[in-house]
């Protein structure tokens, strides 16, 4: 998993690419979210355009990040999710936890509503 930051006003966009499989990805993502919270970013969009696959451990990574942001009065939204990954969200019913939006523009705009 690779992550690159792209700030847009008070929203931090994390462009995520590669498979999210757990292991070292857990610490990497946890530190990324902690760093954002420490820097004052509480609105985070995960752009999943480059994510072809996520497993159950990867879902756990996302849930941990979600709860860290929520505890800091923040929010995490996900966009550009491929059909294969989206089906995993539906099977695990995580679409009820994560706000999943079709495009990056819609995800960023949803923080303005």
Give tens-digit pLDDT for 60-99. Answer: 999 999 999 999 999 999 999 999 999 999 999 988 888 9
The per-residue b/e assignment along 52-87, b for 16 or more CB within 10 angstroms, e otherwise, is: eebeeebbebbeebbebbeebebbbbbbbbeeebee
Note the pTM of the prediction, 2 decimals: 0.94
Q: What is the mean pLDDT of residues 21-44?
A: 94
In the chain, domain spans: 2-110
- Level-2 CATH architecture, domain 2-110: 2-Layer Sandwich (3.30)
Q: What average pLDDT is seen over the chain?
A: 95
Q: What is the mean pLDDT of residues 15-42?
A: 94
What pLDDT, on the 0 to 100 scale, is given for residue 58?
93
What pLDDT, on the 0 to 100 scale, is given for residue 59?
94
């Amino acid at each position: 998993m690779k992550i690159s930051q792209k700030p847009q006003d008070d929203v931090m966009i994390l462009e995520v690419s590669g498979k999210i499989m757990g292991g070292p990805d857990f610490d990497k993502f946890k530190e990324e979210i902690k760093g954002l919270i420490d820097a004052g970013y509480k609105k985070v969009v995960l752009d999943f355009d480059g994510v072809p696959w996520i497993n159950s451990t990867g879902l756990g990574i996302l849930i941990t990040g979600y709860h860290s942001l929520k505890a800091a009065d923040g929010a995490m939204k996900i966009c550009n999710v491929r059909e294969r990954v989206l089906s995993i969200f539906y099977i695990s019913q995580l679409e009820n936890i994560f706000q999943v939006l079709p495009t990056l523009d819609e995800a960023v705009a949803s923080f303005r509503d």
